[in-house]
Amino acid sequence: MSYPTRLLAPGERIAFELKPHWRALIGPVFVLIIEVFVGTWLYFSVANWSIGSWSLAWLQWPILIILIGVAIWRVALPFARWITTQYVFTSRRIIVRRGLVTKQGRDMPLNKVNNVSFTVSVLGRILNYGALEVESASDDGDLYIDDVPDVEEIQRQVYELHELDDSRRRTGNDGDDPLPPTN
């Protein structure tokens, strides 16, 4: 899903867009696999269980309801969060958008950026992702973006966008904003 250009200011251009790193889906996939195997076994096994002459087959419905609840809570919702999260870096701002039914958004103008830093864990080094921290001069506070793929390259590109934005504001350029060269 591409960020709508109608939401950009005149002359503003999209430098690049990202989704959170696919690592965010490892947990939900693991839960789904376990739930399918354990849940299927439990659902069909409980029909054969009994305590004395009492059959426990009635437990199949509560087990099924619990399995559906866990699938929604631990698989469908994290996947929906991942699919609807967007990190957009334009020639003038950083945009974070989340949500399908209810939307959340945060924009940070590049002219308010003081510092851009990143943190990469051991697993992040292996899978090539990290957290990006953009320190702001505004009262709104800093912007923390987790699960950023290729975070070191993104940090460098944000710095370049910041420099180009400073140059644009100093010269008063009214045309389309310049973008850093792509590698």
At 49 the pLDDT is: 87
Tell me the mean pLDDT in the region 41-51: 90
Specify the CATH number for the domain of residue 117. Answer: 2.30.29.30
Q: How many structural domains is the chain composed of?
A: 2
* CA distance to 4, 45, 80, per residue, from 77 (Å): 24, 28, 5
Based on the domain organization, do 94 and 167 belong to the same domain?
yes
pLDDT attached to residue 182:
66
What distance, in Å, lies between the first and last C-alpha atoms of the chain?
23
Q: Is the pLDDT of residue 50 over 90?
A: no
Same domain assignment for residues 74 and 91: no
Which domain-ending residue is among 60, 81, 102?
81
4 — pLDDT class (breaks 50, 70, 90): confident
Helices 26-45 + 60-71 axis angle, to 10: 170
Pair (73, 96) in one structural domain? no
Amino acid 183: pLDDT: 58
- pLDDT of the residue at 53: 79
Whose tokens are 């510092």? That residue is 115
Q: Helices H, strands E: what count in the chain?
A: 5, 9
Least confident of 47-56, 136-145, 169-178: 169-178
Query: Considering 81, 106, 124, which residue would you say is the last residue of a domain?
Result: 81
Write out the two tokens for 143. Answer: 């912007």
Regarding whether 38 and 104 lie in a shared domain, the answer is no
Q: Is residue 63 part of a domain?
A: yes
Find out whether 20 and 154 touch, Cβ atoms under 8 Å: no
Residue 171: pLDDT above 70? yes
Which of 81, 102, 125 marks a domain boundary? Answer: 81
Judge whether 105 and 97 are in contact, CB under 8 Å.
Answer: yes
Choose among 1, 18, 14: nearest CA to 132.
18
Q: Is 3 within a domain?
A: no
For Cα atoms 23, 27, 29, give the angle at the middle one, nearest 5 degrees: 95
pLDDT band at 121 (very low <50, low <70, confident <90, very high): very high
Clarify whether residues 75 and 104 are in a common domain: no
Residue 68 in tokens:
């559906």
Residue 183 lies in a domain: no
Same domain, 53 and 118: no
Same domain, residue pair 43 and 76: yes
Residues 109 and 166 in one domain: yes
Model confidence band, residue 21 (pLDDT cutoffs 50, 70, 90): very high
pLDDT tens for 103-118 read 899 999 999 999 999 9
Residue 178 reports pLDDT greater than 90 = no
DSSP 72: I
pLDDT of residue 143: 93
Its domain, for residue 147, covers 13-20+87-171
Indicate the pTM of the whole model.
Answer: 0.83
